[in-house]
Chains A and B, each alone.
Chain A
Amino acid sequence: MSRILSVALNTFREAVRDRVLYNLVFFALLMMVAAVFVGQISLGIESTIIVSLGLSAISIIGLLIAVFIGVGLVSKEMEKRTLYALLAKPVRRWEFLVGKFGGLVLTLTVNTMAMAAGLFLALLFVKHSFEASDATILIAVYFILLKIAIVVSLALLFSCFTSPLLAILFTAGLYVAGLFIHEMRNLSGSKVSPAVQAFFSWISYILPNFENFNVMAAAAHGKAVPGILILQNTAYAAIYCAIVLAAASVVFSRRNLK
């Protein structure tokens, strides 16, 4: 466990030193501009727009970091051969992998929390006070984080057996596919054959269902999210990450390094 933690902390340190967190500046600017403008153009739905916009930005920025840094987590160490010395230490490959995963998720957590704080500031600016229902925004942010963790695990998995570019494409492809799961399940009524329908319905349970984590609308309208959903989504993300990391570990443990 301490080995995994060591790798994770070092990954976090790398991200910080590589100025990954600079994106926060961009987010802060976006929120400031939005807060100022929104107050002037819309009536009554300022906070709705701020929340939708803020959550979208948190999600997109998080996803970009997850995909691009996630793919580089392992492949960069293989490419630059920094892994040689590390693997000569008493550390198993899966421990390294899980540590890398944890490190990036830690980075993204810090990053996302900071952005959420920025969002609340912008909200305070347009609303002047908070309501209890704004807590849903925190849940939405938490769900985004869960979603991002799954994306990181996928990026890691793909980078264990393909080139970084392909890994990015695969991860992005899966993410987009994961947004259309609802559509895949509801193919009934259209002209596709039952076999194809069955196939897509089957696939739709294997692919990560990113729509599960989308409660942006509820957050924007201050609608409560059922507590059980928080538990279920947490379990979903945990199980999914575990599956993907297990697969990645098996692949990576058998890989000959360059």
Chain B
Amino acid sequence: MSRKPIAILVLFVLPLGFAGIWRLQHSIDTQLAGLREERDEVLLTSPKVMKALSLEYAPLTADIYWTRVVQYYGSRHERAEHLDNLWPLLDLATTLDPNLIPAYRFGSTFLAEPKPAGAGQPEHAVELIRRGIRENPEYWRLYQDLGNVYYFALKDNEKAAEAYVEGSKAPGAASWMKLMAARIVERGDTLETSRYLWTEIYQSSQDPSIRENAKVHLILLKTDDDLQHLDALLDEYEKKTGRRAANIRELVQAGILSGFPADPEGVPYVIGESGQAELNPKSPLFEKEKMYRRF
């Protein structure tokens, strides 16, 4: 047999063929983009049917949907697009596998976060975690998540305290849960409480998205702290001189500040038109702050 057919295959058929496939695929992708949303939705409308169809492989299907959740969030979060399909996807994944703890924890965070950082659906977050607790009552971290949703997103301190107390009764629960409940009831929401809760989330989670989210919150809390502090100094300056400072330099010159305070990204704070200390618009945190519209 001659080697000619192989040469033709390798030199012409394969390169030309796959070049064609490459081009076609791009046009097909654009066509499908419109239909693609729809696809997720359909399977999603009926998690129970999906479960029946998955037979004994429901947990496997759940895992597949769980990966899809992460990717869905990842791709859309980057472009700050809406996350309307997050809830149906999570609903499906957790119906297929009720013990999929990471899905509950993920959902509690990103369903509850206001748009565009999250889906802005704290009610769904509550529904999801309540399902998680029902299926996994011994997993105390879910109570923590429930409390967090009430505390941060719904601003319902009473319910939040309730969730922490409930969770503290679960086996192995951390002792701070009870203390936290008492604290919230006594003092309501404070920067200090929020910082404690986010730190706890940051340290207890393995999920990179959740950790990243908590980190942003912690950084923004730090800037809140800084800004409060600066505002106090500004008030002091005003008391001294009888007028509001127009920029930080004046505070330094007056000896109230020894240097130019900067945010955690290293960009100096500024004083806004209202006369209050603010994040520098040049700082990367400026955009973050807008996106997270933090509590």
Contact = CB atoms under 8 A, between A and B. Distances in A.
- The answer to A–B direct touch (Cβ < 8 A) is yes
Given A183-B67, A243-B18, A205 B38 contact: no
A254 B4 CA distance: 11
A228 B31 contact: yes
Interface string A3-46: 00000000000000000000000000000000000000000010
A40 B78 CA distance: 44
B171 interface: no
A226 B41 CA distance: 19
Contacts of A190: 74
B42 A226 contact: no
Contacts of B255: none
Chain A interface helix/strand/loop/mixed: helix
B28 A205 contact: no
B38 A56 contact: no
A72 to B, nearest CB: 25
A240 B6 CA distance: 18
Interface stretch (A82-90, A107-115, A211-219): A211-219
B46 A205 contact: no
B75 interface: yes
Contacts of A171: none
Interface string A204-234: 0110010110111110110101101100110
B53 to A, nearest CB: 7
B43 to A, nearest CB: 7
Interface size class of B (residues with CB under 8 A): 35 or more
A189 B25 contact: no
Contact of A225 (B5, B35, B43, B78): B35
A182 B49 CA distance: 24
B169 to A, nearest CB: 37
Nearest to B208: A191
Contacts of A52: 42-43, 49
Given A236-B21, A239-B17, A250-B5, A217 B75 contact: no
5 contacts: A48-B45, A186-B71, A189-B78, A232-B24, A247-B14
Q: Which 4 A-B pairs have the closest CB atoms?
A: A217-B42, A217-B39, A243-B17, A189-B74
